[in-house]
Chains A and B, each alone.
Chain A
Amino acid sequence: MGLAQGNGAGSRRSLKLLIVDDSNIMRRRIERSQQFEELQVVGTASNGVEALEMFRKTDPDMVTMDLTMPQMDGIECISKIVHLKPAVRILVISALADKATAVEAMECGANGFLNKPFTDRQLNEAIAELMS
């Protein structure tokens, strides 16, 4: 779990993003690949429990959310986050490729679903759709 360091450009950015995934590689990949200047990564978390803590600390506008994680999975975490802030926008980024899981995530409050593995282009298209 980590709070993002300020980079002096934060004042120009208007949307705060929290990245949740139990893989360090995936968290760095998402942070590195997203190409939107108006997005500021305010924190990362490796499970649902950490994500809730970071959510309360950073009050993000958008969240990318893995589903298969230890301690608290993504579906439960989405429900809790949406309860805290109904207007939050959540993009699920998961390897789980069955339709029923995608439907359940959306019913819990997710706004988009991107399957792993993904290209940078697919990631940015999914984030752009979430921001629109």
Chain B
Amino acid sequence: MLREEELKTFVEGTTNYFEVAAQQPATIGSPYLMEGAPAVHDYTGVISISGKREGVVYFTAPRAMLTVLLMKMQENDFSHETMRDLVGEVANTISGNARRDFGRDFVISVPSVLAGEKPAITQKPGQRSFIIPINWRSHSAKLIVSLT
């Protein structure tokens, strides 16, 4: 089960992503336990975790935030496909960086993406899910970490 101290890895990974990729720090709120089905934004990148831990990492963000993030990355394609690509890449990067602490047996999948639909983010027995709030410029997003 995901321990609260392990959340630090994901908080640091999220902080580092915005500092480096967007060159503008995000404010990361205090993580809290997920209860019920959380509200998701326009695009959600999903990474499945297997190996010594099992679960899912979600990065969900509104289109407006992703547009500004792409601009900061000097990208000039703001299509639906590029939005999907970006949320997958953010989820992949934060999850992959977590191997620094969890080790190589923390196996991450290639990203899948949910858009234009309400993803069913549910907890399996034995999993605890935490929501990490992300505030960047005037936008809000979430990282949701569900791990055994």
B60, CB-defined interface residue at 8 Å: no
Q: Which residue of A26, A29, A68, A94 contacts B110 across the interface (Cβ within 8 Å)?
A: A68
Chain A contact residues: helix, strand, loop or mixed: loop
Q: Which residue of B77, B97, B104 contacts A95 across the interface (Cβ within 8 Å)?
A: B97
Instruction: Report the nearest A residue to B109, measured CB to CB.
Output: A68
Within 8 A of A (CB), among B80-110: 81-82, 85-86, 88-89, 92-100, 102-104, 106, 108-110
B20, CB-defined interface residue at 8 Å: yes
Within 8 A of B (CB), among A70-123: 70, 94-98, 100-101, 115-119
Instruction: Report the nearest B residue to A67, measured CB to CB.
Output: B96
With A25-B89, A32-B74, A98-B104 as contacts: A69 and B17 at CB distance below 8 Å: no
B residues apposed to A, CB below 8 Å = 16-17, 20-21, 23, 70, 73-75, 77, 81-82, 85-86, 88-89, 92-100, 102-104, 106, 108-110
A22, CB-defined interface residue at 8 Å: yes
Shortest Cβ gap from B54 to chain A (Å): 17
Shortest Cβ gap from B30 to chain A (Å): 23
Within 8 A of B (CB), among A1-50: 22-26, 28-29, 32
Q: Report whether B73 and A29 are in contact in the complex, using a CB–CB cutoff of 8 Å.
A: yes
11 extra interface residue pairs, beta carbon distance < 8 Å, beyond A29-B74, A29-B75: A22-B110, A23-B85, A25-B85, A28-B75, A32-B74, A68-B92, A97-B100, A98-B100, A100-B103, A100-B104, A101-B104
Task: List chain B residues, Cβ under 8 A from A115.
Answer: 97
